Structure 1
């Protein structure tokens, strides 16, 4: 087995290839950072307006008249589509009821389309039920409805599958920013964290690159490079000292 010799040539070869790989990443960092600074954050953060309705308190049935057999952990009254709704949660399940009739409300495609029309006047291109969040709605958990609009931003709105509440809306401006964010933090899977193995490996690669670079720089000097310094010091030592007048 051939023995590895840790010579300047050995480190120079590794330094060259590591420098090439990390150099590409440095370019991506520079481009992505510049693009994130250029993109208007108002377009990235833009969200559809939330329509607030005053809570109707008259004509409501008592919650115990709904006839639920399961225990209730939380209870909420809110307005949606101009009608009061009871939102009851128990045993990990959320159920909705019309607060005036007690009828059960199912969060289906028709209801989601109705709520989506209230936040965006554009034509709805498609509605789909997601079993799990995608990258655009990664801050949330559980199944959700996705509504795609035929507008200038190709907006997609996400509604919780159990409550029908609007979770988030994303457009092309956000998608462009998120792409450059992915390049910048090198999290190509989840796009959420700087603390992952790939970027840690790159950090150690940069440390290796700087260390070997300093080593090779030191090794590139010879005694001939310092002759001018010796001559300069010799001339200074031979020059006569100034006399006092």
Structure 2
């Protein structure tokens, strides 16, 4: 029992520090403005784009793509409509009217990001991302990272294949992400709460709870419950004496 008590004390101290980190990080994530975390405050309402009266017929679309098409979508992109075709080699974009191929380069990515950003600040940087990091997580690569010069350093991550805004990052999100990292104890990728470290800590907490119950029952004696047992005993004795 001495060994259990000693281990319970020191394991409780170590895990208690982790409990403080969990409580603090969870509280901070809850206190941060969710709209700023998601970047919702920087979203501009999309401008209405009129569908062209005459778009390229599907037969000509197939000719321009020049590959088998597994799915085809007519969608607005910026100020025009495009055909987005999925092929065995990837996504292809062509102008819905002229059939001209479209590529999402730095200039087009900047224009799309500016049209999607509600602020008046200029673009601070444009970078093509080919390797994942804590900001891109598991987003499909390559993509364009367009950062604006606003106080939140709002960053839009756009697909190089489709031109769509995949995610928005802000300074508030970056702060939230640090607390998220601490909360799930994933200090590298910041995306998994099912890894050896947190499983080990969870196992330690389970042991701490079980050992605490053992020590709890061992710490009590019958006399500790006398304020409950004695009135019950007197009541039973009184009932028994009346029946005699």
Instruction: Work out whether the TM-score is over 0.5.
Output: yes
TM-score by length of 2: 0.79
Select 2:37's aligned residue among 38, 44, 61.
44
Query: Residue 174 in 1 paired to residue 173 in 2?
Result: yes
The answer (yes or no) to whether the contact 1:59–1:100 under 8 Å persists in 2 is yes
Aligned to 2:9: 16
Query: Residue 118 in 1 paired to residue 115 in 2?
Result: yes
- Summarize the Cα distance change of 1:25–1:228 in structure 2 as closer, same or farther, 3 Å threshold: closer
Structure with the bigger percentage of helix: 2
TM-score by length of 1: 0.79
The answer (yes or no) to whether the contact 1:86–1:97 under 8 Å persists in 2 is yes
The answer (yes or no) to whether the contact 2:37–2:173 under 8 Å persists in 1 is yes
Partners of 1:185 and 1:113 in 2: CA distance: 35
The structure number with the bigger radius of gyration is 1
3-state DSSP of counterpart to 2:94: strand
Partners of 2:145 and 2:224 in 1: CA distance: 73
Query: How many residues are paired up?
Result: 229
Query: What are the Cα deviations for residues 157-202 of structure 1, in whole angstroms up to 9, with x where unaligned?
Result: 0000111111111111122222222222223334334333322222
Q: CA deviation at 1:27?
A: 0.3
Query: Residue 61 in 1 paired to residue 56 in 2?
Result: yes
The answer (yes or no) to whether the contact 1:127–1:147 under 8 Å persists in 2 is yes
Q: CA deviation at 1:53?
A: 2.9
Aligned to 1:213: 212
Aligned to 1:3: none
1:57-136 to 2 correspondences below 5 Å: 57-65=52-60, 66-120=63-117, 121-136=120-135
Query: Residue 26 in 1 paired to residue 19 in 2?
Result: yes
The answer (yes or no) to whether the contact 1:129–1:145 under 8 Å persists in 2 is yes
The answer (yes or no) to whether the contact 1:55–1:78 under 8 Å persists in 2 is no
Q: CA deviation at 1:119?
A: 2.1
3-state DSSP of counterpart to 1:15: helix
Consecutive unaligned residues of structure 2, counting only runs of 5 or more, are none
Partners of 1:81 and 1:142 in 2: CA distance: 21
Query: What are the Cα deviations for residues 109-148 of structure 1, in whole angstroms up to 9, with x where unaligned?
Result: 1111111121233221111112244333335333211111
The answer (yes or no) to whether the contact 1:53–1:79 under 8 Å persists in 2 is no
Partners of 1:197 and 1:134 in 2: CA distance: 21
Partners of 2:74 and 2:216 in 1: CA distance: 71
